[in-house]
């Protein structure tokens, strides 16, 4: 099933689940066709914020898409005021998601750092019943979504200040789990975390898929504003670039130069 288009989404619910972190559920076309790891563009209604805001899909429920986002600017600040019954334009479903089929039947480690945690919930949900281990990294004990991950996987926590779980990052937590030997890693989070995961996977012979984040204007590959460097040249343009919004946001870690 495939769907990509713009429609008026209807807000079903919204709540603040942590300090500045909101969970927004929108009924929209194409929700049932979304794949874990894809994202959508949500358009602010204000006339002085014209561009869509790319937000990862956390999960889908029936005919609705759940977005968990952090208020980071004018656009997301506007979204935080949305309430049940409001409408908002949604461009979905964008990008390529994680290769769920490749992970089935294997020992899978999911890694999420900060606002990179929400899209990994949809992956955990899709892989329920497999050998799945979710490593979630937070700044402190002010966590979110960790209880929901427990429905689908084993959960390991890390925090920068050591107030919950292992002190450090998700890789520190994985290294502390000395008996866990993953076949495949899937991750989303800040760039330093993804660089470290790429290196760790290469050193240990583990397949890794990482979801990159970047500022975007169009979300459909036309503006070339969200390219990332790759190790191989693109057959069409003959340059070492890929568009995160279309060829990504999920990439084989071996293919990107980060």
Query: Which has more pLDDT, 215 or 82?
Result: 82
**Residue-wise pLDDT tens digits, 51-91:** 889 999 999 998 999 999 999 999 999 999 999 999 999 99
Over residues 144-166, the pLDDT tens digits come to 999 999 999 999 999 999 999 99
Look at residues 27, 61, 94 and tell me which one is the last residue of a structural domain: 94
* Residue-by-residue DSSP string for 136-182: EEESSS---SHHHHTTTSEEEEEETTSSSSEES-HHHHHHH-TT---
Domain of 149, in residue numbers? 100-211
pLDDT digit string, tens, across residues 174-197: 999 989 999 999 999 999 999 999
Chain position carrying tokens 């009924």:
27
Strands 154-159 and 131-138: parallel
Which pLDDT score is estimated for 131?
97
Task: For CA atoms 81, 86, 92, 98, give the dihedral sign.
Answer: positive
Torsion of CA 112, 124, 78, 212, to 10 degrees: 50
Residue where one domain finishes, among candidates 94, 128, 161: 94
pLDDT digits (tens, 9 = 90+) for 14-43: 999 999 999 999 999 999 999 999 999 999
Residue 222 pLDDT exceeds 80: no
Among 17, 5, 111, 112, residue whose Cα is nearest residue 69: 17
Tell me how many domains the chain contains.
3
pTM greater than 0.85: yes
Residue 2: its H or E element: none
If asked whether residues 118 and 80 sit together in one domain, one would say no
CATH number at residue 236: 2.10.240.10
**Do both 12 and 26 map to the same domain?**
yes
- Cβ 219 vs Cβ 91: under 8 Å: yes
């Amino acid at each position: 099933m495939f769907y990509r288009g713009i429609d008026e989404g209807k807000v079903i619910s919204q709540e603040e689940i942590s300090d500045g972190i909101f969970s927004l559920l929108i009924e929209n076309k194409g929700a049932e066709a979304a794949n874990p790891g894809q994202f959508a563009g949500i358009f602010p209604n204000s006339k002085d914020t014209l561009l869509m805001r790319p937000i990862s899909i956390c999960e889908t429920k029936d005919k609705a898409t759940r977005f968990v986002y952090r208020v980071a600017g004018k656009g997301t600040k506007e979204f935080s005021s949305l309430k049940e019954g409001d409408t908002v334009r949604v461009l979905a479903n964008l990008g390529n998601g994680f290769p769920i089929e490749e992970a089935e039947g294997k020992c899978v480690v999911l890694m999420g750092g900060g606002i990179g945690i929400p899209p990994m919930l949809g992956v955990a949900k899709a892989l329920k019943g497999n050998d799945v281990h979710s490593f979630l990294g937070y700044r402190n004990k002010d966590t979110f979504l960790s209880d929901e991950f427990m429905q689908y996987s084993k959960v390991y926590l890390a925090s920068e200040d050591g107030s919950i779980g292992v002190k450090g990052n998700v890789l520190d937590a994985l290294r502390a789990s000395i008996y866990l030997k993953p076949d495949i890693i899937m991750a989303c989070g800040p760039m330093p975390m993804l660089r470290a995961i790429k290196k760790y996977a290469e050193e240990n012979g583990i397949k890794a898929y990482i979801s990159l984040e970047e500022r975007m204007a169009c979300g459909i590959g036309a503006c070339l504003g969200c390219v990332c460097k790759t190790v191989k040249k693109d057959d069409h343009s003959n340059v070492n670039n890929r568009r995160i919004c279309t060829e990504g946001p999920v990439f084989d870690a071996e293919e990107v130069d980060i």
